[in-house]
Amino acid sequence: MIYGYDTSEKIKSDAKLNVLKYSGPYGKGAFIGRYLTNAPSGEDKCLEYDEVKFLSDNDINIVSIFETYGGPLSYFTMARGISDARASVAAATDLGQPSGKPIYFAVDIPIYVDNQNQVQAIWEYFVGVSQILSDSNENPHGYTLGVYGCEGTCLTVRAVYPNAYTMQCNPKTNGSFSDWNLDQSQYNNGNPIWYNGVAVTIDVVTAQNGNYGGWKHTHTYPSNWTPSSDGIHHHKHCTNCGFVLKKKHSFPSAWSNYGNAKKHRKACTACGAYKYEPHSPNAVGTKCTKCGYEGNIILPSATDGEDSNE
């Protein structure tokens, strides 16, 4: 078994992560279920890019959950499934979720398999979701279907979509579903856990094995660096998500003579951007003691302006 959490709180600081590390039943956990978007009620629960990076850097997988409103039953229509799937794909794409990973769509009300009105509504909702996820134009990254709900919901969806990922939560309404990918339970009676004055409210989640759809941020960068406009860094953009990786220039120790009477330069070993410095003339002003330039050295003046690549 693999153990983790889900939460509607943003885990993007050491203070929050330490609550899990030191007060959570599974330490920091192997994964955290997080919500792709906010709710119409205004609850600020959505996963953010800096949180994705923070969790990934701390070796914690992310499980993507989509839930704007868990009920009532009238919410779950085919049209709603279509619109929710589109919103989830857009959010997952913006966050850099890797291709092929699941999105767990939440049905946060009790569903009973012998209640045909409930079953029909859930079927129609997931037909709408599946319509979008199965369309490569609508879902170019191939995100796959997951369901988050009670046992009856998982059974209902699996009857139509046998390959769907399932996150089973309370109530366990039928007592006959054991083939779940994730199993969620309330922790601490729904009360927050605390460490060093910081609180986080969690549910505990168990994965049967590594096939639960967790992901970390996977950046893919071009080989070449581009000089940044600040003159200090170079950067490259992730080809998957556009994330900007930035590093400081790295210069050799030696200065280079390039025939300029005022200055010498050195090139960043990564991106080729130049750094300039005025010559250091010898006593008679005919040779630079750093780069070896020979000639009549001209000291720079206030009117020379900014250095630029030459």
Q: Where are the domains of the chain?
A: 2-207
**Gap between the Cα atoms of 267 and 282, Å rounded:** 24
Buried b (16+ CB within 10 A) or exposed e, 35-55: bbbeeeeeeebbbeeebbbbb
- CA–CA separation, 28 and 3 (whole Å): 9
Q: Strand 182-186 vs strand 193-195: parallel, antiparallel, or unpaired? A: unpaired
In this prediction, residue 174 carries a pLDDT of: 63
CA proximity to 160, closest of 184, 136, 124, 135: 124
CATH number assigned to the domain covering 2-207: 3.20.20.80
From the number of C-beta atoms within 10 Å of its C-beta (0-12, 13-18, 19+), residue 298 rates as middle
What is the spatial distance between Cα 116 and Cα 149, in angstroms, rounded to a whole number?
Answer: 17
In terms of Cα–Cα distance, which of 121, 124, 100, 101 is closest to 112? 121
The H or E element containing residue 64 is strand 61-66
Which residues in the chain land under pLDDT 70? Answer: 173-175, 302-310
Strands 165-168 and 182-186: parallel
Confidence at residue 175, expressed as pLDDT on a 0 to 100 scale: 65
pTM (two decimals): 0.73
CA 253 to CA 133: how far, in whole Å?
Answer: 54
Contact 170, 186 (CB under 8 A): yes
For tokens 């920091």, what's the residue? 28
pLDDT of 221 reads 83
Q: Are 59 and 90 in contact (CB under 8 A)?
A: no
Task: Read off the tokens for 288.
Answer: 């630079």
User: What single DSSP character describes residue 189?
Assistant: G
Q: Are the C-beta atoms of residues 241 and 249 closer than 8 Å to each other?
A: no
Determine how many CB atoms are found less than 10 A away from the CB of residue 122: 26
Q: How many CB atoms lie within 10 A of CB 27?
A: 11
What is the C-alpha separation between 166 and 145, in angstroms, rounded?
9
CA-nearest of 127, 211, 130 to 167 is 211
Which pLDDT value is given to residue 308?
58
